[in-house]
Amino acid sequence: MSDQAHTEKILLGLEHALDRNDLEGFVQFAKQIPIQDVADFLFYLHSNRRVDAFRLLPRDLGVQVFAYLDPEVGEGLIGNLDDHERQHLIAGMDPDDRAALLEELPEKVAGQLLTALPADEQALTKRILAYPEDSVGRRMTNEYMAVRAEWTIAQALEHIRTHGRDAELLAVIFVTDEQGLLLDSLRLRRFVLGDPGATVESIMDRKFSAVRAEDDQEKAVETLQHYDLLALPVVDANNHLIGVVTIDDIMDVASEEFTEDFHRQGAVADLGMSLREATIGLLWRKRVPWLVTLVFFNILSGAGIAYFEDTLEATMALVFFLPLLIASGGNAGTQSATLMVRALATGDVRMQDWMRLLMREITVAISLGLTMAVAVALVAWARAPEVAVVVGLTMTCVVLMGSLVGLLLPIVLSKFRCDPATASGPLVTSVADVCGVLVYFSIATWYLGIGQIPGE
């Protein structure tokens, strides 16, 4: 059993064997732990030592370990191998992993590696690369098992026994007709538990789900998760079976999609790679667009203040409460946006629910706003009683406005087929800031009766 203490002992053994360049010892230790742990060991090594360690692995084990390496780490590693090592590695990889890797490599290197492949593998790889990025086609494998409806279960099992050894996943078996039309998708258990003399037809229920190779990977995630499947058949336009996506790949996609949403919600463009491996230049490029975009909103806030300069000069105490008021609107807005973005992503709420959600949000926001208003009006009363009413009134308004911006922005974005997660905390906060400044000084000008609203 791979418990913590055992794994750590092995990792230390690997470390020492690597230090002494002890091939035999290294392999012996590596074989005692799951492949994923060997990949982890390589991941945390310095890149020079990583190449040395990888070279100590027997070829087949190397190919398997490589599949679990972070893509950027793998890319760096492959750059340090010689032509012969590289070709062997590429030839041994799963078609979907190979396609993903080749796309990341410099075009010239990728081209050389592709031509060195056997003709059928070459064609397969090119076919996968022809599908759009983030499509199901990029993640599918053709190493599945299909049987025929008219066979007996015994015949099907015999077929699986003879041809199933290389399939990536056997937990799900597909049923097709002679033309390859997909008829059903059944768990292996049904064959094991079934009456050997009965036909495959007799255990079919045809209640299966499938995706198209051109479909977005997100659709595969939703379908697989919704129906609790272990694998999802991929079909062409004529419903012919052309591949399969498995649950482990789908869990990786789900995790990547979530990271993307999470980053977007924090106003960071999709990194597309590990934070650990990201360069300074990449991080700058992924962060600067939103920072600069938001500057424009914030300049509007400044312009709003400038417009109300007379009001401000008449009652300087107003400025002390400015950060508090605009921040509260932004915070309430961030909360609403966060709740909506996630609920839309999980399908918990649907677009057509927006009216009901809006009504509820107004009630919640007014309650929150009044709670906050009482708190800050008391603070204001103690420090600057002349603005207490203005501050309390403004608080209620900004929390309401911020919440509505937070609720509606993701819905509007979704309506225009943009990712609702683009309604990030910082964006909602900036919009709420502008509104907050205008409302605050309008109320102050009106309540404190400081001349006319300027410009009138």
Binding span for a second copy by CB under 8 A among 27-35, 56-64, 104-112, 445-453: 27-35
Single-letter residue type at 336: S
Distance between CA atoms of residues 296 and 277, nearest Å: 32
Closer to a second copy at the Cβ: 36 or 202? Answer: 36
Shortest Å distance, C-beta 206 to a second copy: 7
Applying CB under 8 A, does 275 fall inside the site for a second copy? yes
Q: Does 137 bind a second copy (CB under 8 A)?
A: no
Does 241 sit near a second copy (CB under 8 A)? no
Q: Does 57 bind a second copy (CB under 8 A)?
A: no
CB closer to a second copy, 347 vs 449: 347
33 makes contact with a second copy (CB under 8 A): yes
CA distance 152 to 200: 6
Verify binding: residue 27, a second copy, rule CB under 8 A.
Answer: no
Nearer to a second copy, 119 or 306 (CB): 306
Local structure of 100: helix, strand or coil: helix
Residues numbered 105-134 forming contacts with a second copy, rule: CB under 8 A: none
Least separation in angstroms between residue 99's CB and a second copy is 19
Q: Give min distance, CB of 98 to a second copy, in A.
A: 18
Instruction: Report the site for a second copy in 426-445 (rule: CB under 8 A).
Output: 426, 429-430, 433, 437
Q: Which is nearer to a second copy, 12 or 299 (CB)?
A: 299
Cβ neighbours, 10 Å, residue 222: 17
Q: Which is nearer to a second copy, 117 or 450 (CB)?
A: 450
Q: Where are the beta strands (DSSP E) in 135-240?
A: 146-148, 172-176, 182-187, 211-212, 231-235
- Is 447 among the residues that bind a second copy (CB under 8 A)? no
Q: Where do runs of H (alpha helix) occur along 347-424?
A: 354-383, 388-415
SS3 6: helix
Helices 83-92, 107-115: axis angle to 10 degrees equals 70
Given a contact cutoff of 8 angstroms between Cβ atoms, the answer to whether 326 and 436 are in contact is yes
Q: Is 97 in the site for a second copy (CB under 8 A)?
A: no
Q: Of 110 and 273, which CB lies nearer to a second copy in the complex structure?
A: 273
Within 13 A of 325's CA, how many CA atoms are on the CB side?
33
Closest distance of CB 13 from a second copy, Å: 15
Q: Which of residues 314-333 bind a second copy (CB under 8 A)?
A: 316, 319-324, 326-328, 330-332
Fill in the per-residue mask, 385 to 404: x = in contact with a second copy (CB under 8 A), - = not in contact.
--------------x-----
Least spacing, CB of residue 369 vs a second copy, in Å: 9
- Near a second copy by CB under 8 A, which window of 102-110, 133-141, 341-349, 443-451? 341-349
Give the CA dihedral 128, 50, 270, 285, nearest 10 degrees: -120
Nearer to a second copy, 119 or 292 (CB): 292
37 φ, ψ to 5°?
-75, -30
Which one, 114 or 173, has the nearer CB to a second copy? 173
Report in angstroms how near the CB of residue 116 gets to a second copy at its nearest.
29
255 binds a second copy, rule: CB under 8 A: yes
> With contact defined as beta carbons under 8 Å apart, do 434 and 300 qualify?
yes
319 to 56, 67, 435, 451: CA distances (angstroms): 67, 58, 16, 19
x/- contact string, 155-194, with a second copy (CB under 8 A)?
A: --x--xx--xx----xx----------x----xxx--xx-
Sheet holding 146-148, edge to edge: 146-148, 172-176, 182-187
Residue nearer to a second copy on the CB measure, 258 or 447 = 258
Q: How near is the Cβ of 325 to a second copy at its closest, in Å?
A: 8
Q: Residue 399 and residue 366: Cα distance in Å, rounded?
A: 7
For 116, the token pair is: 């060195």
Q: Mention every residue, 6+ apart, whose C-beta is less than 8 A from residue 454.
A: 307, 308, 309, 310, 311, 445
Is 453 buried (19+), middle (13-18) or exposed (0-12) by CB count in 10 A? Answer: middle
111, 132, 214, 284: which one binds a second copy (CB under 8 A): 284
Among the listed residues 27, 61, 364, 448, the single contact to a second copy using CB under 8 A: 364
Torsions phi, psi of 173, nearest 5? Answer: -115, 135
